[in-house]
Every structure is written in structure tokens, then in C-alpha cells.
Chain A
């Protein structure tokens, strides 16, 4: 099953997080149609929330007008393709990575989102092409 989602910036709805129900709806639909394990739905949702909110709210968003999302589900694997026309940003290398082996008192509060994307996502690829960021990754249930 394939689905696409086009998001404009600034968000038509008002607040960046208003895009979250749109993502949730599409994933629930795909999960039902392709009988996803619950962990795949969770991982896909978490990854998309992180990447989309990062693009909408972090760094220089002055040139950003749109984010395009393509989702393709086959055999309990979800391929995600995200592209946006914002300033160059590679979340795989440009975001700080937390040390998740640190004890409770020393664990930093931030940076966890990108860490989860990189850990839950496979075949991660980033490229900057035609003044757009392109990110591709594949998500499995485990």
C-alpha cells in the first residue's frame, strides 16, 4: 500500500503539531490494510513525528514552504521518503547523539528523537538535491 502526504509551511492549520493527527490517520489506515504488528505502527509514527516536527520547528525554517511524504508498505516493512525545500539539514549527521548508556542522573534530556530515528530506521540515506533535503529510510517491526 502506498500513501502520500503534502504539508505546507507555515502549517495551514496553525500549530506545527497539528500535523500529527494527519500522520496518525494515514498510518492507522495503512496498519489496518496491511495488518502491521503494533511495534511497526508505533515506530513509524514516532519516526515521522520526529522528522516532520524537526523540519517544521528546528533551525532555519525561513525558506521552507513544503514537506512531501511518501509511504510504501510491503511485507511488514515501511519505506519512508521525506523531502522538503528548507535549508540543508542532514538529521543523520547534523544532530547531537545522546549517550544512552549513561545512568539516570546524567542522561541528557534532549537528542533522543534523532537517536530513535537512527536506531529504528534502516537503510538511511540523505541527499541534498535541487535545493531540497531528501531522506529515505525503512522501518521494520523489530
Chain B
């Protein structure tokens, strides 16, 4: 997996690409948590370059979403590919995490 992040005011946009599976899900969680600053109020995760996600990766997203929710921070995911969007829908994640078509839409949402 590859990551980058872009902070603007209290908004953090994290871009993750590649594959997240049982071999690297724990690295994914560590990388993600390492990017959060206490001052970030809104976190947007851009998964437009994510090729594959298994249940191990979904668990990480769920943990991150619950963690941020407990801190009353905004968390959203955007730019899902067709295949990742299919997994989100079946797992019911699109019902519990805000999903937007683009980073811009997520910023306005």
C-alpha cells in the first residue's frame, strides 16, 4: 500500500492506494493512525487508488471510524472504485460511514 496526506486547516485528506489484505492490514492501521493529529477535526480518506480490500482491511476502516466517532470527529471516505464500492455495499459500510464520490464532495459534505 502507498499513502500520502494533505492537511489544510483542520481537514486532513489521506490518500491510500494499492491492496490491503491479511498481510498488511496492521501496517494500514498503524500508518493511518500515525497521520492523525489531535487538531484534525475532519478526516477524509481517498480510496480512489485502492485496488483490493478484504475483510482485514474493512476491520481497519471500522476501527478508525469508531475511534474518530468517539472523539466526535468527522470521518468520510471518497472516490471508491466500482469493485471496492461493491464490497462496501455488501458489508453495510456505506450505511455507517459517509461515502462521497470525490474529495471535493466530501469537503462540502
Contacts and interface: CB of A to CB of B under 8 A. Distances in A.
Contact of A109 (B62, B69, B96): B62
B87 A116 contact: yes
Contacts of A39: 82-83, 86
B52 A45 contact: yes
27 contacts: A17-B22, A17-B23, A24-B19, A38-B81, A38-B82, A38-B83, A39-B82, A42-B83, A42-B87, A43-B86, A49-B56, A50-B55, A100-B91, A101-B92, A104-B65, A104-B69, A105-B66, A105-B70, A107-B62, A112-B58, A112-B59, A112-B62, A115-B91, A116-B55, A116-B87, A120-B90, A142-B86
A20 interface: yes
Interface size class of A (residues with CB under 8 A): 20 to 34
B21 interface: yes
A76 to B, nearest CB: 14
B87 A17 contact: no
A116 B96 contact: no
Contacts of B53: 46
Interface in A69-101: 100-101
B63 interface: yes
B55 A119 contact: no
B97 interface: yes
The prevalent SS among residues of B at the interface is helix
A53 interface: yes
Interface of A: 15-18, 20, 24, 38-39, 41-43, 45-46, 49-50, 53, 100-101, 103-105, 107, 109-110, 112-113, 115-116, 119-120, 142
Given A104-B65, A104-B97, A112-B58, A42 B86 contact: yes
Nearest to A142: B86
B84 interface: yes
